[in-house]
């Protein structure tokens, strides 16, 4: 017990910074449906190092996504969620096991280029063909692998859910429920790979209140904006996330 006090004092500034970031970016995720994880990853990496940041981020996303599901539960689309989970769960296991050894920088830059290309493509084709719901199995597979390795690839799934015609509560809740299936899988896999240390669990639990409060505030905002503005915010988020990944932040 004599060493516990100084350790907690040393961790307190990190927890304070991480809590403010978790609140702000949970609010962003509740408005745009994604973005919090992508922008939190550089903050958590600076505070904890990349290998610890990804499991801490995943624990934070459990509460953030769970609360988005709850606040939008009446608008969920279950069929794409089911197909997504079918691909995401096994690939999240593979990605979680590879995390300790995989070269992450090239993957992040590839994802960044893809996200920017998606926004350009959406602008050139403002009414894309609606994807068949079984295609979300492939979307889930790529997302599960990428999320386990990079911490968050929420922007990767956004264009596909938007192409289904989902907006606001239906989009935010359905995307969050899909993501939650792979986050649970990642946590179990990180535990098996001994990445869930006591400090990781401590920060994951401590950041939960900030994430919940941010999601609640974001839900209040999203009810006040139009569908057009909502889609525009999502596309801006895709560009920002793409630039962050390209820069390797």
Name the average pLDDT for the chain: 77
Please report the pLDDT score of residue 81 as a whole number: 92
- Whether residue 87 contacts residue 137, with contact meaning beta carbons closer than 8 Å, is answered with yes
Task: Please state, in angstroms and rounded to a whole number, the distance separating the CA atoms of residues 234 and 208.
Answer: 24
The parent domain of residue 169 ranges over: 4-246
Model confidence at 227, pLDDT cuts 50, 70, 90, reads: low
Q: What is the Cα–Cα distance from 156 to 37, expressed in whole angstroms? A: 12
Q: Helix, strand, coil: what percent of the chain each, to 5? A: 85, 0, 15
Looking at per-residue confidence, does 200 or 10 come out higher? 200
* pLDDT given for residue 1 in this prediction: 45
Q: Is 196 exposed, middle or buried (0-12, 13-18, 19+ CB in 10 A)?
A: buried
Least confident segment among 75-89, 123-137, 206-220: 123-137
Counting the structural domains of the chain, the total is 1
- The helix (run of H) or strand (run of E) holding residue 208 is helix 208-222
**Reported confidence tier of residue 2, pLDDT bands at 50, 70, 90:** very low
Q: Please tell me the pTM assigned to this model.
A: 0.69
Q: Would you give the DSSP letter of residue 135?
A: G
Q: How many Å apart are CA 18 and CA 25, to the nearest integer?
A: 10
User: Given this model, what pLDDT does residue 182 score?
Assistant: 82
Q: What does the alpha-carbon distance between residue 27 and residue 90 come to, in Å, rounded to a whole number?
A: 30
Residues 6+ apart with CB under 8 A from 203: 11, 14, 15, 18, 48, 56, 59
In whole angstroms, give the CA distance from residue 54 to residue 169: 27
Among 157-166, 180-189, 193-202, the range scoring the smallest mean pLDDT is: 193-202
From CA 172, how far away is CA 158, in angstroms rounded? 9
Per-residue DSSP letters for 50-94?
Answer: HHHHHHHHHHHHHHHHHHHHHHTGGG--HHHHHHHHHHHHHHHHH
Within a 10 A sphere around the Cβ of 123, how many other Cβ atoms?
Answer: 9
- Cβ contacts of residue 24 below 8 Å, gap of 6+? 214
The pLDDT of residue 4 is 43
- Interval 10-61: pLDDT, tens: 677 778 888 888 888 778 777 766 656 666 777 777 787 767 777 888 888 8
Contacts for 123 with CB less than 8 Å, ≥ 6 apart:
none
Please give the pLDDT value at position 125. 66
- CB within 8 A of 14, min separation 6: which ones? 47, 48, 203
* The pLDDT of residue 216: 83
């Amino acid at each position: 017990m004599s060493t516990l006090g100084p350790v907690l004092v040393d961790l307190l500034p990190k927890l304070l910074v991480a809590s403010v970031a978790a609140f702000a970016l949970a609010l962003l995720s509740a408005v745009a449906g994604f973005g919090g994880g992508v922008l939190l990853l550089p903050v958590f990496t600076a505070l904890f190092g990349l290998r610890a940041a990804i499991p801490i981020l995943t624990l934070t996303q459990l509460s953030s996504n769970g609360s988005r599901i709850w606040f939008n539960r009446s608008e969920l689309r279950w069929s794409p969620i089911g197909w997504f989970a079918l691909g995401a769960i096994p690939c999240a296991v593979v990605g979680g096991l590879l995390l300790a050894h995989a070269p992450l920088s090239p993957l992040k830059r590839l994802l960044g280029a893809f996200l920017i290309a998606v926004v350009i493509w959406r602008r050139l084709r403002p009414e894309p063909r609606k994807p068949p719901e079984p295609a979300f199995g492939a979307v889930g597979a790529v997302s599960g692998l990428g999320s386990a390795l990079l911490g968050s690839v929420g922007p990767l799934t956004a264009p596909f859910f938007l192409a289904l015609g989902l907006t606001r509560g239906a989009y935010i809740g359905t995307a969050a429920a899909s993501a939650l299936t792979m986050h649970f899988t990642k946590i179990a896999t990180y535990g098996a790979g001994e990445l869930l240390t006591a400090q990781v669990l401590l920060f994951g639990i401590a950041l939960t209140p900030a994430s919940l409060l941010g999601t609640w505030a974001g839900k209040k905002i999203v009810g006040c904006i139009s569908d057009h503005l909502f889609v525009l915010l999502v596309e801006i988020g895709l560009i920002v996330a793409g630039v962050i990944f390209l820069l390797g932040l």
